[in-house]
Amino acid sequence: MASPQMVMYEEEFNQIRAIVDRLVRDANAQVVFIIDKNGQLIAAAGESEQIDTTSLASLTAGNIAATGGIAKILRENEFTTQFHEGERANIHIQLVGNRVILVVIFNNQTSLGLVRLRVKKATEHLNGIFEILLQKAQDPNQQTPFAEITDDDIDNLFND
């Protein structure tokens, strides 16, 4: 496989959770998401229950992928930040360590400047955590939950 598998463990998840919770408060944002570049939702904080998070994750990843494609054509490494301004909602999208995407949705109760500032700080912390996760995922001694799964288990999933 070209890219290593993403595995999320309790310790790192709690650290990520703390960062996104704090970002919601510090940036006075409505919702904060962390999504991997393939469109899988990793963590959410704020008023996320009102949003179709699975769809948002997939579309944001598509958006980042398309922007990355444009960057390549222009011989840029990556466009790491995107901002979309709406009438009521605004969305700030930040690529973290070229691995995951930090999405902040906010309204006019806060400012783009504050969001940018807080995102920058959060990005530094997140970078370190995902670096550790990557190392863990590449550790050959790390067990996957699939190690003990039998062919029968897989077959049973499809017996309807």
Partner 1 sequence: MSFINYLSREINCKIVYYGPGLCGKTTNLQYIYNKTNPEAKGKMISLATDTDRTLFFDFLPLALGEIRGFKTRFHLYTVPGQVFYDASRKLILKGVDGVVFVADSQIARAEANQESLENLRTNLAEQQLDLDEVPYVIQYNKRDMPSIMSVEELRAMLNPTRVPDFEAVAVNGDGVFDTLKAVAKLVLTELKRGTPK
Binding site residues, partner 1, CB under 8 A: 1-10, 13, 36-40, 42, 52, 54-55, 58-59, 62, 65-66, 68-69, 144-149, 151, 153-155, 157-158
Q: How far is the CB of 53 from partner 1 (least distance, A)?
A: 9
How far apart are the C-alpha atoms of 68 and 49, rounded to whole Å? 29
99/107 Cα distance (integer angstroms): 27
- Which among 82, 8, 71 is positioned nearest to 42, based on CA atoms? 8
- By beta-carbon proximity to partner 1, the closer residue of 55 and 107 is 55
Nearer to partner 1, 47 or 52 (CB): 52
DSSP, res 48 = G
Q: How far is the CB of 157 from partner 1 (least distance, A)?
A: 5
Residues 6 or more apart in contact with residue 106 via CB below 8 angstroms: 27, 28, 29, 30, 89, 90, 91, 92, 115
- Cβ 122 to partner 1, closest distance in Å? 20
Q: Which lies closer to partner 1 via its Cβ, residue 37 or residue 92?
A: 37
CB of 75 to partner 1, least distance (A): 15
DSSP state of 108: T
Enter the tokens of residue 131. Answer: 């670096």
Q: For partner 1, which is the closer residue by CB, 97 or 110? A: 97
